[in-house]
Amino acid sequence: MLQLFITGFIDIKLTDVIDILLVAFLLYELYNLLKGTAAINIFLGIVAIFLLWKFVTALQMELLSEILGAFISVGFIALIVVFQPEIRQFLLLIGTTRFMSKTRSRMSFLNFNMTKSANLDVDPIVSACRKMSGTKTGALIIIAKMNELRQYVETGQVLNARISDQLLQNIFFKNSPLHDGAVIISNNSVKSARSILPVSSKKLSVGLGLRHRAAVGVTEKTDAIALIVSEETGEISYSKKGVLVHNVNPSHLKNFLEKEFNKPK
């Protein structure tokens, strides 16, 4: 047995090592692109079926192997349809001149970027929501988790600014050119303003407008948290996993954000 292991080990060529590393690199980039979205569950399911297919093929279980093989063949076309936005984004990412510099800083062999992001600065966000609620200033704030929401950040005005209640109030001030759309917060900084979000097709209560529908839409597709201040009533709401929670007070909002983003290590 040891001799067979040694022989098998010696048979590994340099091209095999390069092949494995390239596949690992592509899977890592694909995971970074999909993490925090609903698509990651589909991706993991497909990987599980593929591994099962390889396993039954190795055991020479011909009937099950044929069934899974046919599913994989047809599923490849379905995969392109389901992941069309993610595939497009991935190809755009590869085509940018910044790709290699980003990759070099984010991923080096044996040194993956797996560190936990800084705790969210909750107080200025809650303070801004409380003040905008008092003045009935409409607002939509999206706070990213695992998914950094790069595809939505790029649709708006990129800021990369420190979080402050004054900044958030100025952005959503009615005469501000940035007040339409959403503010996206990621890695404890304001990444963008006036960003465009997907709108949910779910049936919502009468009287809820595009802000609430966009909040539900983005939290259906990603793991982000959405905060909404109603322009009509001043009511503060938040959305998580496509579910809206209405009429929360600032202390409730602060406790919720602390639990979501500042969990004890």
pLDDT digits over 104-134, tens only? Answer: 444 433 333 433 455 899 999 999 999 999 9
pLDDT at 136: 93
Entry pTM: 0.66
- Of the pLDDT bands very low, low, confident and very high (cuts 50, 70, 90), residue 37 is low
Greatest mean pLDDT among 1-10, 35-44, 187-196 lies in 187-196
Q: Is 212 within 8 Å of 92 (Cβ atoms)? A: no
Tens digit of each residue's pLDDT (9 = 90 or more) over 155-209: 999 999 999 999 999 999 988 888 889 999 998 999 999 999 988 888 887 778 8
Spell out the domains of the chain, with CATH numbers in brackets.
2-112 (no CATH), 122-261 (3.40.1700.10)
